[in-house]
Amino acid sequence: MVSSLVNRRAALGGLSLSAVLALAPRWAAAASAQTPVVDEVVRQPFSVEGLRDKAKALAAAPYVKPPAPPTITGLTYDEYFRIRFRPEADLWNDRQPPFRAEFFPPAWLYPRPLPIFEVVAGLARPIAFDPAMFDIPGEHADVAKSWNGFSGFRLLWPLNEPGKMDEVAVFQGASYFRSLGRGQRYGLSARGLAIGAGEPNEEFPDFTAFWLERPDAGNDAVVVHALMDSPSCAGAYSFTIRPGDNVVFDVIASIFPRTTMTKAGAAAMSSMFLFNVADPSPLQDYRTAVHDSDGLAIWTGEGEHIWRPLQNPKAHRLSNYPDKDPKGFGLIQRASSLEDFGDLQARYDLRPSLWVEPLDAWGEGAVHLAELATTKETDDNIAIFWRPKAAWEAGSQVDLRYRLHWGQERFATPDARVFRTRTGADAQADVRLFTVDLQGGALAEGLDGVVVDLKVDGGEIVWKDLAPYPDEAAARVAFGLRPKAANVDLTLRLTRGGQAISETWRYLWTA
């Protein structure tokens, strides 16, 4: 995220660290070669401790900006994605474990090559590069003459049916990576680290080298390591990736600040929200909604569940939700039926949710949300991340452990949760109408004793009503808001006997 929009198709490629780790491009000339060649001469011992030491040493030295990548022209978005990695060149295609790795060329918006290694028995060997590994449309074959390395990679596993290899993870561009659950299509992305996200002069750390551990036979996980570098810090990351109905990443990171960092954003992710029924499109669009995520969910350290509907604001804005030792947070796609969107091509109903589960106590801080105005569904205009209250001091080591759940929404929920928000004009000209629909087991008992706990900052509630949905364990809260400020903060939950029986709905209305 930046103060100007980030196009999901235009995240800058990772920077090469050739001064530290030399990529030895070599491709076996033998016609019988079926897998990417690894250099049999250049072997380096590899360990997580060694990678951490490398990041620490890197942070102790002044940041060196990598040389500008070569200018590669001649490929559009569609042409770039017509380039295919040849299946016979897959890494690990000769082994029993059902994992494969394929690589991306340094072209289009990803011109910088970066070293990628295979780790076997504690030894790291560079994966050699050759354009012959790619099936390139004939009219663009000459473009490959300028390639000299990989810009990223994807991991394959039989996610949806036995024997059919599907993408389960992609690492490409800055510190971006993405995944999805069974039966889904790609949507939002995660980031290794965000620095000043949503603010002017945002800094984009880069994964500058990768190490892929060869899985053992029968292993249900694959491990990826990455070295990160940026003007503010360096870092070592390890990802243990376990596919299933949901794909789970266990992330272990050690970050070494070069400078005192007050705007670090851990467990960051980016998504897109254009419009829905609560925040309709100003353009004429045949669809009901267009978004990869429709809400920010937070499970606080004290056990409160917060649901914050996403919006496409008129102007850039930032929100934050202070907490201590959060149990989890994420960007969620609750709208999950085709008719929620009416789009047979993009299939936004199949986009994954992403949930962050901290594996340690993270202390005091806040979940931050950046929402940027956009008119394009190709723009990632939403970002969230955890920012600690205390700055990360120069020369220190910051260790993070967390788990990422990609797929269906999945975390401990209260008895009732919000499934739809709507807004519109009220009969009174200066009043805004809101309806908030909730569903859950507690509402199956009816609404006797249920109280609407509704608070407003910056306006007044003119009227409110609670009504059941017919034949459903669901209810609708409707109310009229008279704004008295340019920004109105709304908080709503249902209680019975003084105890919350729903998650807390948070909404920021802007004039």
Answer yes or no: are the C-beta atoms of 301 and 444 closer than 8 Å.
no
For residue 268, being part of any structural domain is answered with yes
Domain span including residue 370: 6-407
Q: Is residue 250 in some structural domain?
A: yes
Question: In 10 A of CB 253, how many CB atoms?
Answer: 22
- Residues 9-19: tens digit of each pLDDT: 344 333 322 22
CB 116 within 8 A of CB 151: no
Domain co-membership, 328 together with 245? yes
| Same domain assignment for residues 403 and 422 | no
User: What pLDDT score was predicted for residue 6?
Assistant: 59
Helical residues (DSSP H) of 383-446, grouped into ranges: none
Spell out a b/e string for 393-420, using b for 16 or more CB atoms within 10 Å of the CB, else e. eeeeebebebbbbbbbbbbebbbbbbbb
**Among the three residues 390, 407, 424, which one is the final residue of a domain in this structure?**
407
pLDDT of residue 466: 98
Same domain, 338 and 456: no
**Considering 407, 432, 447, which residue would you say is the last residue of a domain?**
407
- Residue 282: predicted pLDDT: 80
Choose one of 366, 386, 407: the last residue of a domain.
407
Average model confidence (pLDDT) for the chain? 89
* Structure confidence by residue, pLDDT tens digits, 186-232: 999 999 999 999 999 999 999 999 999 999 877 899 999 999 999 99
Shared domain for 282 and 427, answered yes or no, is no
CATH number at residue 436: 2.60.40.10
Residue 239 lies in a domain: yes
The total number of structural domains in the chain stands at: 2
- Residues 396 and 467 placed together within one structural domain of the fold: no
Identify whether residues 276 and 382 lie together within a single domain. yes
d(CA 220, CA 55): 29
Let me know whether 421 and 322 are in one domain: no
Q: Based on the domain organization, do 448 and 430 belong to the same domain? A: yes
Based on the fold, state whether residues 458 and 401 are members of the same structural domain: no
CATH number for the domain that contains residue 49: 2.70.98.10
Decide if 171 is inside a domain.
yes
Question: What integer pLDDT is reported at residue 34 of this predicted model?
Answer: 38
Whether 232 and 308 map to the same domain: the answer is yes
How does pLDDT run across 106-142, given as a tens digit for each residue? Answer: 887 788 899 999 999 999 999 999 988 998 876 667 7
What end-to-end distance do the CA atoms of the chain give, in Å?
24
pLDDT of residue 17: 27
Q: Which of 341, 427, 320 is nearest to 384 (CA)?
A: 320
Reported as a pLDDT band with limits 50, 70 and 90, residue 499 is very high
452 and 383 part of one domain: no
Number of DSSP helices (H) and strands (E) in the chain, helices first? 2, 36
Indicate whether 94 belongs to any domain: yes
* Cβ burial 175-196 (10 Å sphere, 16+ → b, else e): bbbbbbbbebebbbbbbbbbbb
- Please tell me the distance from the alpha carbon of residue 123 to that of residue 137, in angstroms, as a whole number: 36
Residue, of 4 and 315, whose pLDDT is higher = 315
Instruction: Note whether 319 and 456 are same-domain residues.
Output: no
pLDDT tens digits, residue range 328-347? Answer: 999 999 999 999 999 999 99
| pLDDT (tens digit per residue) in 393-451 | 999 999 999 999 999 998 777 789 999 999 999 988 999 999 999 999 889 989 999 99
pLDDT digits (tens, 9 = 90+) for 259-282: 999 999 999 999 999 999 988 888
Please name every residue paired with 169 in a beta bridge, in sequence order, or none if there are none.
155
Distance (Å, whole) CA 118 – CA 155: 13
CA distance 169 to 161: 17
User: Residue 28: which pLDDT band, with cuts at 50, 70 and 90?
Assistant: very low
Per the document, the length of the chain is 511
Task: Specify if 1 maps to a domain.
Answer: no
